[in-house]
Amino acid sequence: MSPRAPKLGRGVALVGAGMSRFGAFPDKTSRDLFVEAFHAMVKSVDKGIETGDIQALYVGNFSSDLFEGQGHIAPIVADWVGLVPKPATRVEDACSSGGVALREGIIAIASGIYDIVLVGGTEKMTNLPTERVTDTLAAASDTLYEGSCGFTFPGLYAAMATAYMAKYGASVEHFMKVGIKNHRNGALNPKAQFNKSIRDLMDSRIEKAKQKGEAVPDWRNEIDFLKDSKANPIVAWPMRLFDCSPITDGAACALLVAEDIAKDFCHDPIQILGTGQGSDHALHERQDLTTILAARTAAREAYDMAGVEPEDIAIAEVHDCFTIAELVAIEDLGFFKPGEAYKATEAGLTARDGSKPINTSGGLKSKGHPVGASGIGQVVEIWHQMRKEAGARQVQKDVNLALTHNVGATGGTCVVHIFGRR
């Protein structure tokens, strides 16, 4: 017997989304950030939502236990937003925890169990010094064969980057161009951790040097700045500081409802047209480090469910935890052929005014990457763009079909969602 193609048992709609500011907040816990995101989400629901009407919560969180010494975070955040005694479930799939929480919420409504579900994500990472954050994140690698041999996440993605360079002839400058683009977008996002373009950061360093009477760096453009090892040190070659997403505190929330009641909440609801999820072998076992099977699997499932193809997608938020990850993502999603993503980026096709805008929010690189929340943070951007509420970073074309792509670790998990209005 061949299994039937996956499809939703009934339609699911997105009727609200909001996030906390992403950044470093010494006085806030993951629960405080979740409350902030929840309030932003409630404010976004056109016709309002009574907290008591929400029937269940799925919350993505990678490791509140190790980051904050607080396990079992789901009932705690449920309590802080007034959901007790509703079921509250923590979802952990490394950096894709938020995206998988979204999928669990969709499945819960599609199955008919619930009509109104809150999905979210929260992570508080900046409590720990960088070395301990690095160790904590490395727990999401294959600790027997990767973490124990000294591999960190920058190191694992550096291996993917060198494989990509060797196979396709890309250079470090191509990675830098991904960072330049995403910081340009993040500069227009008031909730981003780094809401500054690389040009702004470069100019402010030059200004500082002048004010202090120090030697003024002779950077002519962003690439010069990024090639300067003092301004942009190597973390794990070829990944430098500005190739890495930062260490971030933040939370995000989205409200899902059954399609037949969506108009009770929202003037123009956004439908969930497709959801897909896949898995892959640990990085050290893969034949080819330049592609992620989980992403290709998740994308195909989501495209088939939605009845669309990559060329139909207007914009996408993809998992750019490192600059190389964005190039791999947009090839795995079928937006560009293998080995073509770096050329497309260089040609400006993925810029906000390009034919396939990618990471208009600033992406994980510039907006920030509070790991368990990032997948829902992507949904918040799609919500704003599809409603033409993205302010200065709003894309000019109509966005009728949009996609999110959220990766766990080096791609052991990937989840893809397609949003649309039919």
Give Cα separations from 108 to 10, 113, 119, 152 (angstroms).
Answer: 10, 6, 11, 35
Distance CA 299, CA 311 (A): 13
Q: Does 153 bind ligand COA (CB under 6 A)?
A: yes
Catalytic residue among 174, 183, 319, 369: 369
Tell me if 130 contacts ligand COA by CB under 6 A: yes
Query: Whose structure tokens read 């929330």?
Result: 253
Please identify which of the residues 95, 244, 266, 414 carries the catalytic annotation. 95
Q: Which member of 110, 137, 315, 414 binds ligand COA (CB under 6 A)?
A: 137
Classified as helix, coil or strand, 277 is: strand
Strand extents, DSSP E, 188-340: 234-236, 239-240, 249-258, 270-279, 315-317
Distance CA 145, CA 194 (A): 34
Site for ligand COA in 312-331 (CB under 6 A): 321
Question: Cβ closer to ligand COA: 115 or 317?
Answer: 317
Does 136 help bind ligand COA (rule: CB under 6 A)?
no
Active-site residue flag, 369 = yes
Query: For ligand COA, which stretch binds (CB under 6 A), given 55-63, 238-246, 288-296, 309-317?
Result: 238-246
The 3-class secondary structure across 382-397, one letter per residue, is HHHHHCCCCHHHCCCC
Structure tokens at 178: 């991904």
Phi and psi at 157, nearest 5°, equal -70, -30
Residue 95 sits in the site that holds ligand COA (CB under 6 A): yes
Q: How far is the CB of 24 from ligand COA (least distance, A)?
A: 8
d(CA 250, CA 121): 8
Among the residue ranges 99-107, 113-121, 245-253, 303-311, the one whose residues contact ligand COA (CB under 6 A):
245-253
| Residue whose pair of structure tokens reads 């074309």 in the numeric block | 397
Question: Per rule CB under 6 A, is residue 221 in the interface with ligand COA?
Answer: no
Please give the size of the binding site for ligand COA, defined by CB under 6 A: 16
Residue of 124, 181, 184, 369 interacting with ligand COA (CB under 6 A): 369
Q: Does 67 bind ligand COA (CB under 6 A)?
A: no
Among 22, 34, 114, 242, binds ligand COA (CB under 6 A): 242
Q: Is position 405 an interface residue for ligand COA (rule: CB under 6 A)?
A: no
Q: Which residues pair with 249 in a beta bridge?
A: 23, 124
Q: Is the dihedral of CA 415, 157, 152, 362 positive or negative?
A: negative
Known catalytic membership, residue 417: no
Q: Which is nearer to ligand COA, 242 or 303 (CB)?
A: 242
Tell me if residue 20 falls in helix, strand or coil.
coil
Q: Which residues are catalytic?
A: 95, 369
State the residues that interact with ligand COA by CB under 6 A.
Answer: 95, 130, 134, 137, 153-154, 235, 241-242, 244-247, 321, 369, 371
